[in-house]
Amino acid sequence: MTSSELWDRATAERYDAGETEMSSAAVLEPTLAFLADLAGDGRALEFAIGTGRVGVPLRERGVPVVGIELSEHMAAVLRRKLDEDALPLAIGDMATTVVPGEFALVYLVYNTISNLLTQEEQVECFRNAARHLAPGGRFVIELSVPPLRFLPPGQVAVPFDVSERHLGFDTFDLVGQILVSHHVTREDDGRYRRGDSRHRYAWPAELDLMARIAGLELERRVADWDGAPFTEDSTKHVSVWRKSA
């Protein structure tokens, strides 16, 4: 077991309803096109596949997808959408769990590598990706750039959503590279639900070093799935590392 926090049943059951924007065609279409192009005629392995927001429609595009997921509750929601024959799924952590065969593509979306709370585990995640990749295969990560430039001296919190139904802000442990995402959500009955989750943030250069340790080389880095250039003002990146052929 890694240091990743487990998603419980209640969280898993409401996950899809809370991520309608991330499941929209505007968000998913460029994501799927990017991943399908890299997979080509090969198979894809999604680490931390969750409820299948990306894996299920990628499978429907004709890319054979296999998933690894730590939370049995998230996996149960996914299993209602596709059975084992259509999308094989292993319960386990993304740093050490091994599934059979080789893959043209291994990918992690929506900041999920940050669920691993130590540098050692994140390195092992890269090694596990390389272990599954066929020669010439790619490992793809979507990850936010830490918003530390918004922290003036003495401040430890940065808001990322202030709306009628939701307040979200991150607090930072700058020494341990840990951020905690805090959420206060107003339910339909007027009550408020509070939750938080811990993440280890990492800079793109740190990920590149992890990739080298795993025997992978940076091939491409862009600001989003649409291929926009990555700049000093980018709030996230999509990075592609390649296993030597």
Residue range 79-110, pLDDT digits in tens: 999 999 999 999 999 999 999 999 999 999 99
For 110-147, write each residue's pLDDT tens digit.
Answer: 999 999 999 999 999 999 999 999 999 999 999 999 98
Residue 238 pairs with which residues in a beta bridge?
142, 222
DSSP state letter for 232: T
Q: Give the residue range(s) of CATH 2.20.25 domains in the chain.
A: 148-197
Please enumerate in sequence order all residues whose Cβ is within 8 A of that of 223, keeping only pairs 6 or more positions apart, or say none: 229, 230, 231, 234, 236, 237, 238
223-245 pLDDT, tens digit each: 999 999 999 999 999 999 999 98
Q: How do residues 191-211 score in pLDDT, each as one tens digit?
A: 999 999 999 999 999 999 999
* CA 129-113-89 angle, 5° bins: 60
Q: Is the pLDDT of residue 186 over 80?
A: yes
**Residue 1 binned pLDDT confidence (cut-offs 50, 70, 90):** low
| CATH match of 148-197 with 2.20.25 | yes
In tens, the pLDDT along 28-81 reads: 999 999 999 999 999 999 999 999 999 999 999 999 999 999 999 999 999 999
DSSP string, 128-196: HHHHHEEEEEEEEEEEEPP-GGG--TT--EEEEEE-SSEEEEEEEETTTTEEEEEEEEE-TTS-EEEEE
Return the biggest CA–CA distance within the chain.
Answer: 57
Q: What is the DSSP string of 25-70?
A: HHHHHHHHHHHHHHHTTS-EEEET-TT-TTHHHHHHTT--EEEEES
Contact assessment for residue 31 and residue 225, using Cβ atoms and an 8 Å cutoff: yes
Over 80: is that where the pLDDT of 154 sits? yes
Task: Work out the pLDDT band at 153, boundaries 50, 70, 90.
Answer: confident
Q: Which CATH number is associated with domain 9-145+202-243?
A: 3.40.50.150
Enumerate the CATH 3.40.50.150 domain ranges in the chain, comma separated: 9-145+202-243
Q: How many CB atoms lie within 10 A of CB 123?
A: 19
Residue whose C-alpha is closest to residue 50's, from 28, 73, 24, 80: 73
Whether 194 and 221 have beta carbons less than 8 Å apart is answered as: no
Estimate the share of the chain in helix, then strand, then coil, as percent rounded to the nearest 5. 30, 30, 40
Rounded to whole angstroms, the Cα distance separating 27 from 95 reads 27
